[in-house]
C-alpha cells in the first residue's frame, strides 16, 4: 500500500505559491516539492497530488491524503470543474493508471504527515516571496541607474547639474553611412558633383558642427572640444561613404554628442551636395562606437 500526503500554499491567491508531497512506499519516505511565482492555492493543491502520482509505478494501490475538499469532492462527488481544466485532465490521466483512494484529512489537526506536507508547501511559497522581493530590490537599483538624467522629478526636461563633477579626459568615436547609387558614388570619386569636392566639404562641416553641438541640442552642455576629426572613405562594395568621427575633451561631461553631431552633419552635407544627382540617397547606421572617461566606458 502506498500513501501520499499532499498540501499547497499560496500568498495572495493569486500570488507566489508552493506545494509539498510526502510519498510513502513500503515504509520509505520521499519528499517532493515545488512552486510557482504566480499561481493559486487550488493549483498548488492539485500540483502536489499530480507530482505525487507521477512518481508511482503503474497499477499501484494508493491513498491520497489531502485537506482540500476541492480535490476530494471533485474526484469522488463529481463537483463541477469550472477552472484548472489542464490540471484536472492531467490528474485524471494519472489516476486512471492507478487504484486511488481519495482521503480527506482535516488540516492542522495534528496529523504529522499532513503537517509535514503543509510545512513543505508553506516554505516553498515563502521562498518565492523572498526571491520576488530580492528581484524587485535589484530592479529598483537598475531603475535608479537607468533613470533619464535629463528629466526632473516632475517629468519636465532639465539640464543636468555637473558642477560637482571632476574634470576628466573624455573621448568618443562615432560612425555613419551614406548609401547611394554607383553612378552617384562615381561622380563623387571623380569630383564631378556640381557643388564641389563632396568629401572635403563634408569633413569641414562635421568638424564645425561638433563645436556647435550645445547650440543645436537643447540640454547639451557647452564644453571645450580639444580635438575633433572626421574621416570619410568610399566603400564601393556597399555603394556607400563611411563617416567616422573622433572627439575629445577635458571636462565634466561629454563628448559623445559632439562625435555623433560631427558624423550626422557630415552625412547630411553629403546628401545636400549630391541631391541634384540622386534623391534616393539613404543615411543610416549613425551610432556611438566607443566612449571613454567619466562615470561609464562604452564600446559597441
Residues designated as active site: 272
The SS3 of residue 246 is strand
Helix axes 182-189, 256-274, angle to 10 degrees: 100
Tell which residue, 61, 24, 79, 68, has the closest CA to residue 46: 68
Can you tell me which residue has the cell 553629403?
270
d(CA 266, CA 242): 10
The SS3 of residue 192 is coil
d(CA 72, CA 24): 20
Can you tell me which residue has the cell 533619464?
148
d(CA 115, CA 49): 15
User: What residues contact residue 220 under an 8 Å CB cut-off, 6+ apart?
Assistant: 213, 214, 257
* H helix intervals, 163-255: 182-189, 198-210, 213-216
Given a contact cutoff of 8 angstroms between Cβ atoms, the answer to whether 279 and 298 are in contact is no
Distance from the Cα of residue 66 to its chain's centroid = 40
d(CA 14, CA 42): 10
Cβ density class 36-49: b for 16+ within 10 Å, e for less = beebbbbbbbbbbb
User: What residues contact residue 93 under an 8 Å CB cut-off, 6+ apart?
Assistant: none
Amino acid at each position: 500500500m502506498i500513501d501520499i500526503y499532499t498540501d499547497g500554499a499560496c500568498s495572495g491567491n493569486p500570488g507566489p505559491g508552493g506545494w509539498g508531497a510526502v510519498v510513502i512506499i513500503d515504509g520509505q519516505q520521499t519528499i517532493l516539492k515545488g512552486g510557482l511565482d504566480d499561481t493559486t492555492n487550488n493549483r498548488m493543491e492539485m500540483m502536489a497530488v499530480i507530482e505525487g502520482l507521477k512518481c508511482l509505478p503503474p497499477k499501484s494501490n494508493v491513498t491520497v491524503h489531502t485537506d482540500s475538499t476541492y480535490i476530494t469532492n471533485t474526484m469522488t462527488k463529481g463537483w463541477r470543474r469550472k477552472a484548472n481544466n489542464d490540471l484536472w485532465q492531467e490528474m485524471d490521466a494519472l489516476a486512471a493508471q492507478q487504484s486511488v483512494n481519495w482521503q480527506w484529512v482535516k488540516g492542522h489537526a495534528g496529523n504529522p504527515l499532513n503537517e509535514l506536507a503543509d510545512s513543505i508547501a508553506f516554505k516553498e511559497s515563502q521562498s518565492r516571496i523572498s526571491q520576488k522581493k530580492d528581484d524587485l530590490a535589484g530592479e529598483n537599483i537598475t531603475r535608479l541607474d537607468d533613470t533619464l538624467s535629463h528629466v526632473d522629478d516632475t517629468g519636465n526636461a532639465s539640464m543636468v547639474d555637473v558642477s560637482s563633477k571632476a574634470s576628466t579626459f573624455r573621448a568618443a568615436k562615432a560612425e555613419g553611412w551614406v548609401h547611394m547609387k554607383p553612378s552617384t558614388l562615381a561622380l563623387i570619386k571623380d569630383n564631378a558633383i556640381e557643388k564641389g569636392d563632396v568629401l572635403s566639404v563634408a569633413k569641414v562641416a562635421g568638424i564645425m558642427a561638433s563645436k556647435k553641438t550645445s547650440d543645436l541640442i537643447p540640454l547639451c552642455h557647452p564644453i571645450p572640444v580639444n580635438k575633433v576629426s572626421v574621416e570619410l572613405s568610399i566603400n564601393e562594395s556597399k555603394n556607400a561613404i563611411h563617416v567616422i568621427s573622433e572627439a575629445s575633451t577635458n571636462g565634466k561631461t561629454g563628448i559623445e554628442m559632439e562625435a555623433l553631431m560631427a558624423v550626422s552633419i557630415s552625412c547630411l552635407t553629403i546628401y545636400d551636395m549630391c541631391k541634384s544627382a540622386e534623391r534616393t540617397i539613404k543615411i543610416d547606421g549613425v551610432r556611438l562606437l566607443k566612449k571613454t572617461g567619466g562615470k561609464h566606458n562604452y564600446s559597441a
